[in-house]
Amino acid sequence: MKTKDEIKRMKVQTSIIPAELTELEMRERTRGIALYYKDDEFISQTFFTPPNVGEINWIDGLTVEANVHFREIELIGTDLLHLYVVGKEEDILKMCRSNKVYNVLKGLYPSLTERNRSRKYIDITAGKPRWHVIISIDKKSFYIASNVKLNNKKILIDNIIILGDRLFGLTDKQEVVTAQLLPDIIEKRDAVLEVDLVDEMNKYGKIDKLEKMPNVENSFLATIKNTIYQFDLSGEMLRFKLLDENVKRINSVSFNSTRTIMATTDGLYEIEVIEGPNMVKATSLPRMIVAPHLKDNFTVAMYLEDPDILGVNPAIGIFAKTEDERVLFF
């Protein structure tokens, strides 16, 4: 096994996305591994050459300084997207008021389907504000969903997930709140959504992370320390799965069609799963991906399945980001 210092280093290539690209060309640019907004331009990054899947690769050259860093673009309705982005609020507002963002999203839109509703991107930002935006492509309108009211007091929430017309998020006290989304919210840019605490969930303790499951609209996941729970939309607990006692916290959960990967304070864990109609079921116990260089505190882990980027078919690779913002791919 290679040591951490002997791991292969891979460079990324960077390109500005011109406004005059066709939708097909725009889609190819925006499907890279990183997407940013800087100085009124959209910047895409991807592998310079396809990586050798199965080998550990440190990723060099990812953009640190940008106005807005994209983490996820998710399809939540017809011409309706949920953006998870990082940056200052004024930069988020400037980007969303620009016609360029709608051109970029329109190009990406055909690649978001009912089967694969989201595109996740990797970034190396630490300590910057995180924002959730609901954006309508056809109406060229947007709504900052992070600003809400709880008990008539304005607060910020993070880790927002949207299931049908229900929005869930976390307060800075790690409590789950929820609200109903109505169609006119996208046209009320200055409105502030009223949320309520989900007491049935919050009784289990401080929630670390909320996560959706693929193709499931009637339940979702929440993590508390080293345990991952499944809750229904009313907050009732359906089942739970306990990780190794060495794990202090689960930092992210991601799926592909057959597996779930979790980034934890004690490395990466996977579970085999099977998908059915409105259901994802674990078929094995959690197992650690064992390698000396994968024992770090990982804040993010996610699958990449894109033969055009990986150069192989079937294409399956894993991104993981350490606590100190280093990114590896294998």
The rounded distance, in Å, linking the Cα atoms of 41 and 296 is 35
- The vertex-230 CA angle with 264 and 199, nearest 5°, equals 105
Q: What is the pTM of this model?
A: 0.93
Q: Is the pLDDT of residue 264 over 60?
A: yes
pLDDT, residue 6, reads 65
Token pair 């294998």: residue = 330
Q: What is the pLDDT of residues 234-259, one digit of tens each?
A: 999 998 888 988 999 999 999 988 99
What percent of the chain has a predicted confidence (pLDDT) above 90?
68
Q: What are the boundaries of each domain within the chain?
A: 9-139
DSSP state of 28: H
pLDDT, residue 2, reads 45
4-18, 81-95, 267-281, 295-309: which range is least confident on average?
Answer: 4-18
First to last CA, the chain: 14
User: Mean pLDDT for the chain?
Assistant: 91
Q: What is the pLDDT of residues 3-34, one digit of tens each?
A: 445 688 899 999 999 877 787 787 778 889 99
pLDDT, residue 51, reads 83
By CB atoms closer than 10 A (0-12, 13-18, 19+), residue 312 is middle
What percent of the chain has a predicted confidence (pLDDT) above 70?
98
The mean pLDDT value for 92-104 works out to 94
69-78, 94-103, 184-193: which range is least confident on average?
Answer: 184-193
By CB atoms closer than 10 A (0-12, 13-18, 19+), residue 14 is middle
Across-strand partners of 170? 158, 176
